Structure 1
Amino acid sequence: MIAQLNTEIVIGSLKLKNPIMPASGAFGPEMKDAIDFNELGALVPKSITRLPQPGNRTPRVCETTAGMINSIGIQSKGLDYYMKYTIPEFAAYSAPLISSISADSVDEFAEMSEVIGNHPDVDALELNISCPNLKGNGEAFGMNAEVTESLIQAVKNVTDVPLIAKLTPNVTSIQDIALAAEAGGATALNVANTLLAMAIDTESRRPLIGNIMGGFSGPAVKPVIVRMIYQVSQVTNLPIIGCGGIMNGKDALEMIIAGASAVQVGTASFIYPTAMPDILEEIKDYMKRHAIYDINELVGSIQVD
């Protein structure tokens, strides 16, 4: 009798049927024509802001060697629209809904989290602490350990759903920020958001991005993220969601072996709309070949001796 593969991952009270989910900002309802949302581990729509926002000036995206830079900005229809339309749309699927929140201050994070986090169809919150803190001279919340801890604490006081802190890689020590998020009461850590980058058109000598700088993603960033996942896993026992540069099953497995319990897929879905289910099948094939019947056995299984 062939043993069944267990791909279920548990993050706090959040149960995922498998470790594959989209990265916020790289996933929308129009993708239902390409993949079955019910087959994903979780659904993560684009970050929501309290008020409607138009996003950044164009051009917003440019291609680079082995990756892309984007500066979409948190283009958003606002909290009221999200509650009325977006949540019901995604709640129709069996995969858990993780709402990604972006805010301008700690207080605003708490206010939005109280509203969204207590909606019965929202299963977890991803706190985009990589966005600028307008009360902290524009520095991202996740660049400051004290601010990170107080932000997570403020949100934890208003909702009981699992809290995923989305860390920024643009720091000297991501371990310090991870520990601060843990101290604040985070349930899990997303490692990590995009790397700050810039590209120039040498003919016009103008930036290729309207906002001058943007977030670098794609296969070129994967080794940096794998390193950060490993480092964070050495200092905290919180579940880690790996994000950045996953293009195939092997990439996802690298992050899982480094210490990630789950992974998010972004840029790959722009190139291959079926990237997420394809990656899951590649992981299952790997498990069968290596006679590993529980995905959790792979988490942090790196051999360094």
Structure 2
Amino acid sequence: MSDRLRTTLGPLELPNPVLTASGCGGTGRELAQFSDLARLGAFVTTSVMPQARAGRPTPRVAETPSGLLTATGLPSPGVETFLERDLPWLIEQGVRTIVSVAGNSVEEYGDIASRLRNVPGVAAIEVNVACPNVEDRGRMFGWHPTAAASVVRAVRAYARPGLPVFAKLAPDVTDIVTIALACVDAGADGLTLINAMEGMAIDTGTLRPALTGVSGGLSGPAIRPVAVRCVYQVHAALPSTPIIGVGGVASGLDALEFILAGASAVAVGTALFHDPAAGPRVLRELDEALGARRLGRLADAVGLAHKPAGYVPPQVRPQEPEKEPQ
């Protein structure tokens, strides 16, 4: 793979910009049957919580046009099992690991960050703010800038100094830029955009909601335009803040769209359910797409859609002149 794919997410340097999305790769063992996880930029874990959780009862998954509705209830092995079983395996495989953390109170977020503080092999922490705050009538932390900032601040305070912290934001808010600014001000080194959107499906056979939890998170190609919009808006407001773009990435051109909007990396999620080797394929297609557009480095494409018409990146490779026929 060419060096043009190297990217940086704040203090974190990665050989390429393709990651897995949290919750879509299991513990990593499942995907490792189909491709070498160490070839990806990083593996993002399922959200780790203080205690083990089974999640909601079935049915908790429903297919929709160009998307998938899930209401899993954030099943988690718990931080103890993660540290004893899952993280050591990922380290043995040489996988760069970003640990997603979640909780139902500010204290729980801080507790998990403190448990990870002296653990080797953690490349970064991704703070999943799409969790209900039990101290605020169950409203999601990510719905309000003050609440979102509070959990980011707690993770930053207890995490290892210098360890990159990313806040993963949901799009179901009035102004995602305001939430992003609050998280960065609270100490986030970067942002992951976006989490799943809230949606619902009704089973016309049973005449009841298709999911036990009634509503769920919509992911897949159906939300990609929303995700690209969020990345574009946040990059415009925070051009120096690294962004991981998530939401319906299924091809190299999908990934390129996020990068042009302002993302420095992308995460593949729902596509993994029907194509577990999608990560390496997206990476290869992205490399080809950059080459076809004579872009010498991935960094030259980040946020390029914000530039005025006619702008040419400094690292664009000159087009080779056509050879005259002999």
Match of 1:34 in 2: 34
Q: Which deviations, in whole Å up to 9, do the C-alpha atoms of 1:117-152 show, x marking residues without a partner?
A: 431111110110111111111111111111222222
CA drift at 1:48? 0.9
Does the 8 Å contact 1:128/1:165 carry over to 2? Answer: yes
Q: Give the one of 1, 17, 21 matched to 1:23.
A: 21
Aligned residues: 303
Does the 8 Å contact 2:3/2:15 carry over to 1? Answer: no
2:158 counterpart SS class: coil
Q: In structure 1, how many angstroms separate the alpha carbons of the residues matched to 2:93 and 2:13?
A: 14
Q: Give the one of 6, 9, 12 matched to 1:8.
A: 6
Does the 8 Å contact 1:16/1:95 carry over to 2? Answer: no
TM-score, reference length from structure 2:
0.90
Match of 2:220 in 1: 218
Q: In structure 1, how many angstroms separate the alpha carbons of the residues matched to 2:153 and 2:30?
A: 35
CA drift at 1:304? 5.5
Q: How does 1:1-305 map to 2 (within 5 A)?
A: 5-28=3-26, 29-159=29-159, 160=161, 161-236=163-238, 237-302=240-305, 303=307, 305=309
Q: In structure 2, how many angstroms separate the alpha carbons of the residues matched to 1:5 and 1:156?
A: 31
Does the 8 Å contact 2:253/2:286 carry over to 1? Answer: yes
1:138 counterpart SS class: coil
Amino acid in structure 1 at the alignment position of 2:216: G
CA drift at 1:95? 3.3
CA drift at 1:195? 0.3
Amino acid in structure 1 at the alignment position of 2:246: C
Q: In structure 2, how many angstroms separate the alpha carbons of the residues matched to 1:151 and 1:75?
A: 20
Does the 8 Å contact 1:40/1:277 carry over to 2? Answer: yes
Amino acid in structure 1 at the alignment position of 2:4: N
Q: Which deviations, in whole Å up to 9, do the C-alpha atoms of 1:140-168 show, x marking residues without a partner?
A: 11111112222222221112211010001
Q: In structure 1, how many angstroms separate the alpha carbons of the residues matched to 2:95 and 2:89?
A: 12
Identity %: 38
Worse-matched range after superposition: 232-241 or 172-181: 232-241
Amino acid in structure 2 at the alignment position of 1:59: P
Larger radius of gyration: 2
TM-score, reference length from structure 1:
0.96
Q: In structure 1, how many angstroms separate the alpha carbons of the residues matched to 2:198 and 2:284?
A: 32
Q: In structure 2, how many angstroms separate the alpha carbons of the residues matched to 1:188 and 1:157?
A: 16
Q: In structure 2, how many angstroms separate the alpha carbons of the residues matched to 1:204 and 1:105?
A: 36
* Off by >2 Å, runs of 4+ in structure 1: none
Does the 8 Å contact 1:5/1:284 carry over to 2? Answer: no
Does the 8 Å contact 1:5/1:293 carry over to 2? Answer: no
Match of 2:316 in 1: none
Amino acid in structure 1 at the alignment position of 2:270: T
Structure 2 unaligned blocks of 5 or more? 310-326
Q: Which deviations, in whole Å up to 9, do the C-alpha atoms of 1:178-222 show, x marking residues without a partner?
A: 000010010110001000000001232111111101000111110
Does the 8 Å contact 1:217/1:245 carry over to 2? Answer: yes
Q: In structure 1, how many angstroms separate the alpha carbons of the residues matched to 2:176 and 2:13?
A: 26
Amino acid in structure 2 at the alignment position of 1:64: T
Structure 1 unaligned blocks of 5 or more? none
Amino acid in structure 2 at the alignment position of 1:23: A
Worse-matched range after superposition: 59-68 or 155-164: 155-164
Q: In structure 1, how many angstroms separate the alpha carbons of the residues matched to 2:93 and 2:264?
A: 22
Q: In structure 2, how many angstroms separate the alpha carbons of the residues matched to 1:123 and 1:64?
A: 34
Q: In structure 2, how many angstroms separate the alpha carbons of the residues matched to 1:267 and 1:133?
A: 26
